[in-house]
Amino acid sequence: MSINLLDLAQPGALETLEHEYPIRVRRQADGSVYFDLRSLPLSSIEGLDEHRIARLARIVRGLAFTAVDAARSGHPGGSSSKTEAVLTLLASGMLAFDAWDPKHPGRDRVVWSAGHCTPLFHALVALIYECLRRKGERLNPDAAAAATYPEHLLRFRRLGGPSGHVESHSPLADACTGSSGHGLSAALGMAVLHRSCGLPTRVFVIAGDAETEEGMSYEARNLASNLGIENLTVLLDYNRFGIDGPIAQVLPFPYLNHWIAFGWNVIEADGHNPRELAWAIRLAVAGFGNRKPTVVLYHTIKGKHYGKLEGTADSHGTPLPHAEYLELMRALGFPLDEQATPAQALDIVLSQLDAADVNYLIGRLQAARSRVPPEPHLVHVLKKALNEEQPIDYRSLQRPEPLPAELVFPEGENVPTRRATEAWFAWVMERCPFFWIGAGDLAKSILTGKAEQVRGLLSRDHPLGRGIRFGIAEQNMAMMSVSMAADTLPGGYRPMTVFASYGVFSVMMANAVRMALIGNDVNPRSRAFFILLAAHDGPETGEDGPTHHGLFWMSLFSAYPGIKVYKPLDANEAVEMLFHALSRGEPVAFSVVRPPVPVFRRGNGVPPAREAIHGAYVFKDYAHNGKRKVALAVCGGQMMANVLAALPELEDRADFKLIAVTAPQLFEELRRQNPEHARRILSDEDRTRLMAFHTGWSGFLYPLLLPPDWHGRIFGIDRFQRSGTPAEIYAAAGFDPPGIRDKIYAFLKS
């Protein structure tokens, strides 16, 4: 007698199954459910033609293996083991996806955490659009531009062809992936985003088992369970191999424990059995009424049908010799002769895609399309959930004139710049419901808590919260946050995120940021705006010692294209630079300090704080008194205060121009866009007589000087310091007023 799992909706049905199959069905103490579907006599599912899926799986493998052979490069192992699972997801009737409009905001999101499985990914997308092309289906312009067709597979991993890792501009892909373990965190961010807007969207993750080794995936599994993110489903290929060998070599205890112990629902299935896979996906979507995320752990053979490499770790990224490729293709039923070119091989594979296959797949695509709600309906749902008739996103926020009192800090007082970000984030949160903020268990220190409390903390019982307590999990925090910011909600609303840690720890988030910047570059329509708050920058964390001195973090983010490092001198500059970042919508790494620093007095030759948005400005111009002219570029509020304290004893020797530096990358941009303005700040002549001072890595200011004359003219902290008060560290580094005087004296004598 077959089991119809739709009956699980009936009261007591799960308990009955648990009694009948005590090893296969268990409810854990935390309420999560374990369910092993393997070899159960499951009933058939309407619309799921298992014979047709088997035919399509063979064709997809033929396309994928041919792409790898043509490129002599790629990842056939995981691609082949996941083939039935991804095809079944598409055919299950559970995925909301519109192939005719693949970026419809009401779609379910799909994240290929196994981003290397592009032979499968591109083959599947090519199959979809080949079928639609054969039926003469009309696509919207975006779909037509993003679609992959079989002939494109001949340029796989070649310039202009389908990419070697998954990129977010493609249909059925909503994140750029390839860095192991990052995709789960990206998917969690999207699931949190949509759930916290009251939307019915689900997020599916295509993952491999070796990713569980990645620490970031631990962080994501923990937070997803803790927050009750029930709209997240992981389809996990359990083939037991990584790249180098069996995953058991590095995961010492039973694999199931890595998911059950975190309170996830776990469903096991045969990954090459469409019926079991389809039921597993249906159960995951229906949930078990326990507000838990679900992992479908499906057992597979890595590199299935890939010749002698089937069932080995070597199938991961090793193309077979061409002769062996021809042999396996024949074994799959594709009669290739020895002289067959890749183009001819594609033709032979596609010749076996018959009209019934095409009609079936298009029918399942139409079923998937029918699950995508109309956008006006989703906008109504979103507005109702947020209880706002006309919500706005960050793009509608503008710097008010004049600034409100809470965003203006008294000149002449000493104020930590972290107080400015605290006030500004709260101001934005009060006005913008599409703003999420969190810190790596440092809210009390970095001061994100005020903004978090405006709309409350996100939790299992408060799903509409905008403050996220990530715990000590910087990598997951960053990947979640940048992925949230990269999505577009119904109505065209764009999220904005802030994620915060100490500057010294921000390097742990660099790869997540890098992945987001790649997404911004390859998919400009989904360009993310986020702020990485790098707190306790410079030697201001002196007492903590070298483990916490934020001296070198900016080197990474200065090198990445698409993000800029902002380092305001004081609290009022911080506010102005935040508004500037908002107006640009470009990601920033934003530096703030812990101890009080001077809020500089403006006027009497000192420009307003708003000048900081140019990346550099003339804080004090030459007196033109006939003395030798020396330009001083200064980065850091306390450094500027110390330079000002040092100058009175030096002004009888030289005529000094002070240039405040807040973002060298912004200043380089000004040099390109408005060279005359830039020359007024720092002329080529000034650059020949410039000294530069930075409270961290000296290379941050390299763009301001003319090489090769950096030695003796640019001063930063280029070695690890020791524990001490900030004043002591400044002195030890030679950046207290006497140390600065000595450096300038030496320069004047040279």
Q: Which residue type, as a one-letter code, is found at position 2?
A: S
Residue 85 lies in a domain: yes
The mean predicted confidence, pLDDT, of the chain is 95
Residue 483 lies in a domain: yes
pLDDT in tens, 715-734: 999 899 999 998 999 999 99
The model's confidence at residue 709, banded by pLDDT at 50, 70 and 90, is low
Map tokens 């996100």 to a residue: 458
**Domain co-membership, 136 together with 262:** yes
Q: Which among 575, 580, 546 is positioned nearest to 564, based on CA atoms? A: 580
Burial 299-323 (b: 16+ CB within 10 A, else e): bbbbbbbbbebbbbbbbbebbbeee
CA angle, 575 as apex, 573 and 581 as ends, to 5°?
100
Where is average pLDDT lowest: 233-237, 513-517, 704-708? 704-708
Where is average pLDDT lowest: 19-28, 56-65, 447-456, 657-666? 19-28
Give the domain range for residue 629: 612-749
CATH number of the domain bearing residue 412: 3.40.50.970
Give me the number of domains the chain comprises. Answer: 3
**Domain co-membership, 148 together with 236:** yes
**Domain co-membership, 236 together with 261:** yes
**Domain co-membership, 300 together with 176:** yes
Residue 3 lies in a domain: no
pLDDT in tens, 367-422: 999 999 999 999 999 999 999 999 999 999 999 999 999 999 999 999 999 999 99
**Domain co-membership, 275 together with 311:** yes
Q: Can you tell me the distance from the alpha carbon of 139 to that of 356, in angstroms, rounded to the nearest whole number?
A: 21
The model's confidence at residue 366, banded by pLDDT at 50, 70 and 90, is very high
Indicate whether 707 pLDDT > 70. no
End-to-end distance of the chain based on CA atoms, in angstroms? 95
**Domain co-membership, 583 together with 616:** no
Rama region for 586: left / alpha / beta (φ>0; ψ in -120 to 50; rest):
beta
Residues 503/418, Cβ–Cβ less than 8 Å: no
Residue 390 lies in a domain: no
Structure tokens at 618: 């003339």
Residue 391 lies in a domain: no
**Domain co-membership, 518 together with 632:** no
**Domain co-membership, 57 together with 197:** yes
Rama region for 684: left / alpha / beta (φ>0; ψ in -120 to 50; rest):
alpha
The model's confidence at residue 711, banded by pLDDT at 50, 70 and 90, is low
Say what the pLDDT of residue 36 is. 97
The percent of residues in the chain predicted with pLDDT above 70, rounded, is 99
Q: Can you tell me the distance from the alpha carbon of 656 to that of 632, in angstroms, rounded to the nearest whole number?
A: 7
**Domain co-membership, 305 together with 411:** no
Say what the pLDDT of residue 541 is. 83
Residue 8 lies in a domain: no
pLDDT in tens, 579-629: 999 999 999 999 999 999 999 999 999 999 999 999 999 999 999 999 999
Say what angle helices 50-71 and 342-351 make with each other, to 10 degrees: 180
Residue 298 lies in a domain: yes
Where is average pLDDT lowest: 243-252, 466-475, 485-494? 243-252
Say what the pLDDT of residue 63 is. 98
Burial 514-553 (b: 16+ CB within 10 A, else e): bbbbbbbeebeebbbbbbbbbbbbbbbbbebeeebbbbbb
CATH number of the domain bearing residue 621: 3.40.50.920
Strand ranges inside 30-108, DSSP E: 33-36
pLDDT in tens, 308-335: 999 999 999 999 999 999 999 999 999 9
Helix (H, G, I), strand (E, B) or coil at 507: helix
The percent of residues in the chain predicted with pLDDT above 90, rounded, is 89
Q: Are strands 597-598 and 414-415 parallel, antiparallel or unpaired?
A: antiparallel
Q: Can you tell me the distance from the alpha carbon of 643 to that of 651, in angstroms, rounded to the nearest whole number?
A: 12
pLDDT in tens, 620-640: 999 999 999 999 999 999 999
**Domain co-membership, 67 together with 194:** yes
Say what the pLDDT of residue 708 is. 59
pLDDT in tens, 551-575: 999 998 999 999 999 999 999 999 9
The model's confidence at residue 6, banded by pLDDT at 50, 70 and 90, is confident
12 vs 71: which has the higher pLDDT: 71
Indicate whether 50 pLDDT > 70. yes
**Domain co-membership, 43 together with 161:** yes
Residue 388 lies in a domain: no
pLDDT in tens, 496-517: 999 999 999 999 999 999 999 9
**Domain co-membership, 622 together with 544:** no
Residues 597/440, Cβ–Cβ less than 8 Å: no
Say what the pLDDT of residue 493 is. 98
Q: Which among 537, 563, 560, 710 is positioned nearest to 633, based on CA atoms? A: 710
Concatenate the DSSP letters of all residues of 400-446 into one string: -SSPPGGG---TTSEE-HHHHHHHHHHHHHHH-SSEEEEESS-HHHH
Q: Can you tell me the distance from the alpha carbon of 635 to that of 662, in angstroms, rounded to the nearest whole number?
A: 6
pTM: 0.96
Helix (H, G, I), strand (E, B) or coil at 688: helix
Indicate whether 1 pLDDT > 70. no
Indicate whether 16 pLDDT > 90. no
Average pLDDT over every residue of 198-221: 95
